[in-house]
Amino acid sequence: MKRNILSVPMERVEQGASKPSQDLVAVEDPLQIRLGDRDVAITMRTPGQDRELAAGFLLSEGILQSRDQIESISEDERGTVTIIPSASAPIDWEHLARNFYVTSSCGVCGKASIDALRSAGCRALPRGQFQISAQTLSTLPQKLRAAQPVFEHTGGLHAAGLFNAAGDLLALREDVGRHNAVDKLFGSAFLENRLPLSEHVLMLSGRVSFELVQKALMAGIPMVAAVGAPSSLAIETALRFGITLVGFLRDARFNIYSVPERCDYRVFKTVPGTGSK
């Protein structure tokens, strides 16, 4: 059985200094869902209760309506759950062929195998073109929060912000889904022909999962920072493609999980309003 928690190396930055350390992160790994001999979906999840996840997905998508329509459920060590429908199950196979199902948490839509998911063919980003000071980086969460107009009233939205190296907020989008907020942000830049965003930081109001790092890669973002935790696959993806990944960015403290040279923490003064040094 796959682990759902992983210990990873990182650089802990605090009080103007950095030191190697370890952190426990939630594992994120692809799960492939098959109905009979056909691929139905690939979704990113923390391993555990995979059979329940697959069955619930098919139920919520209206593909299956009752337990009687399932003849058997099996899973393998590669991360695939296969559901064999009963002979009497009214599966609309033509509909499935026309509409390849993926969940809203999956950032690689249309991929029919886990191998294709892991070998997307994207190139690593250049490492020498962007740098931001630790002091400036530490001001981003407060600036993001202050610029969330809908969150101020509802308290229930995720935010994605685009910042430059000077700490200026250039654009912000809110949505009930983290992935939707990022898609809106990058979609705006795409429609305005401003890609790649090679001189910018993507600031997130929550945790960092694989698909958010992948979206950043597609937009050419060299640094992703978040107030929450990264998953194991988010870290693996950032390392593979040369993206600086920062987590737990709070109160002038943060963890750098990949490509730390993009953050200059040699001079780290007190950040106004945090009480930290």
In angstroms, what CA-CA distances link 246 with 68, 168, 213? 47, 18, 11
The full 3-state SS of 10-49, as one line of letters, equals: EEEEECCEEEEEEEEEECCEEEEEEECCEEEEEEEECCCC
Give CA–CA dist 178/169, Å, rounded.
18
In angstroms, what CA-CA distances link 74 with 41, 46, 88, 169? 16, 18, 19, 48
Q: Provide the 10 A C-beta neighbour count for residue 35.
A: 23
Token pair in block for residue 112: 């029919």
φ, ψ of residue 58 to 5 degrees: the values are -65, -35
- DSSP element (H, E) containing 149: none
196 prior amide bond cis, ω within 30: yes
- DSSP element (H, E) containing 205: none
Give CA–CA dist 276/264, Å, rounded.
17
Q: 106 catalytic, yes or no?
A: yes
Give CA–CA dist 128/105, Å, rounded.
32
The DSSP call for residue 231 is: P
φ, ψ of residue 30 to 5 degrees: the values are -75, 140
Query: Which residues are known catalytic residues?
Result: 106
